Amino acid sequence: MIIAEDGRHTTLGQHRSPTEEEIGQVTASLSAHGLGGWLVLGDGDYYQIRKPFDLEKVRQVSKSQVPWEVAETRFRDLRSRSDSPAG
């Protein structure tokens, strides 16, 4: 998956490693919108919001205005809000 500096993300590869072409397409889109991003591996059940979902940063794919830790916190915040009744 690729996590943008604002916490939004996209999944790639679906049960396989993403290709460099797929990564390049997302990177180009992020850069066009002025967003930085990181390629990450997720470990856990992505669809079970209340269960742990660990992230392993692989590499930065586009220049960011914030550090990885901020993007990770934003991702987790957005993810937890998607489980709320109002979200």
Indicate the pLDDT class of residue 16, thresholds 50, 70 and 90: confident
Q: How many CA atoms lie within 13 A of 86 on its CB side?
A: 0
pLDDT given for residue 87 in this prediction: 43
Q: Does 43 have pLDDT greater than 60?
A: yes
40, 58 contact by CB (below 8 A) = yes
Cα–Cα nearest to 26, from 6, 42, 9, 41? 9
